[in-house]
Chain A
Amino acid sequence: MDAKATERELQSLMIEGLGGDAVAYKTLLSKLSGYLRAYFRGRLARMGRGTVDAEDLVQEALIGIHTRRHTYDPSQPFTPWAYAIARYKLLDHLRRTKVSIKDLPIEGAEELIAHDDLSDAESAFDLQRLLDRISPKMRQAIQYVKLDGLSVSEAAARSGMSESAIKVSVHRGMKALALLISKGRST
């Protein structure tokens, strides 16, 4: 797809997302994460930095895009807006990690097991530690439905909660986690 078509697609997804369309928004973030990953890996590699931090950066940029989405003006193109945020997060990261340039050998090993750009790479951000900070009921519901991949009825059977209670717990838990993430990272 050429750049213009991509821009049109991302922009319309963003506008739907701003209107509250969670499906469009999720699609947008998934597509963006691929571009962001390629961008950060490319830049880090070109600067002789290891690309292990790329996934942290992808998620930092996604948080930035998410928590600052009210600064996107739908009358303007979307790509320059997202790029400016990605670039800001990269520069911020480079400033913060100036001291660790010497850690080159470790990165060599990491490169071998690095996923490719379309794979579902993992950041150093610890989901388990976040889960410990929400209520046990929410934690269990998220563990079953979101992490173990059980259906709502299976999760209900296993935990002894009703199906609607599972749904509510997952919903509230995800909201609480999202809040923890934006608090912990964006300030």
Chain B
Amino acid sequence: MKTSQFIELLSSDLQPIRRGVVGRTLALALLIGGAAAFGLMLVTVGLRPDLFEGASSTLLAVKLPFTVSLIGIGTLFLIAASHPGRNARRRLALAFLPFLAIASLALGAILLATPMAREDMVFGPEWLTCVICIPLFAIVPFATLIWVLHLAAPTDLRRAGAGAGLVAAALGATAYAFHCPGDSLPFIAVWYGLPILFWTFLGAILGPRLLRW
């Protein structure tokens, strides 16, 4: 087909474009994904029984700052990655900061603890549930985020996939935090950090397959 005919085709019946479509769908995807993760937490493991009896201090002081900052950084990255021509790389690199912070805190806590207490700090209550639930809770958010990226125009599919995995797992971890009985810093660093990193890498692998356009 001649390119001039082709251009005629594309410009025939041109519809006006509403502004900010990508931002709106992204907000919707985060909302649906987050609600699904939270709902799944409620029906499977349920809220931590002592959540409203003073047990929420670690949740507010450590778990949520860690996971929510990852959601924030990852979302800013996904906005940039959805728009061709924006420098998104630097924004994804920022995600190292929360990991660095939680890792240093965990290391400090381990060094300060007695050798006897160290193992209990890492292999705290329900660590296995934690590594299973967080990746599981991340599945729906990942699907909704991939849907958003599919409607947008990511040009670095590996990074875009990694960003979707990161945000999805951070949403899953946020939901799980409302159940999580483990309160030590090393516990959070390891059993929250690893599933989130796992989903980030999985997203990087799936990105090029799922997001081609």
**A123–B9 alpha-carbon span in the complex (Å):** 14
**A177–B9 alpha-carbon span in the complex (Å):** 7
Taking the complex as formed, is A186 at the interface, i.e. its CB lies under 8 A from any CB of chain B?
Answer: yes
Taking the complex as formed, is B152 at the interface, i.e. its CB lies under 8 A from any CB of chain A?
Answer: yes
**A88–B84 alpha-carbon span in the complex (Å):** 9
CB atoms of B84 and A85 under 8 A apart: yes
Chain A residues with Cβ under 8 A from B7's Cβ? 26, 29-30, 33, 62
> What residues of chain B have their CB less than 8 Å away from a CB belonging to chain A?
1-19, 21-22, 82-86, 152-153, 155, 212-213
Known contacts A85-B84, A127-B1; 20 further A-B pairs (Cβ under 8 A): A20-B15, A30-B4, A30-B7, A33-B7, A62-B10, A63-B10, A70-B21, A70-B22, A71-B153, A84-B155, A88-B155, A120-B3, A121-B2, A122-B1, A122-B3, A125-B6, A127-B5, A174-B9, A174-B12, A175-B12
Chain B residues with Cβ under 8 A from A22's Cβ? 11-14
**A59–B10 alpha-carbon span in the complex (Å):** 10
Contact (A66, B85) CB under 8 Å given A120-B4, A122-B1: no
Taking the complex as formed, is A92 at the interface, i.e. its CB lies under 8 A from any CB of chain B?
Answer: yes
**A77–B85 alpha-carbon span in the complex (Å):** 9
Number of interface residues of A (CB under 8 A): 56
Give the residues from 18 to 71 in chain A that come closer than 8 angstroms, CB to CB, to chain B: 18-22, 25-26, 29-30, 33, 37, 55, 58-59, 62-64, 66-71
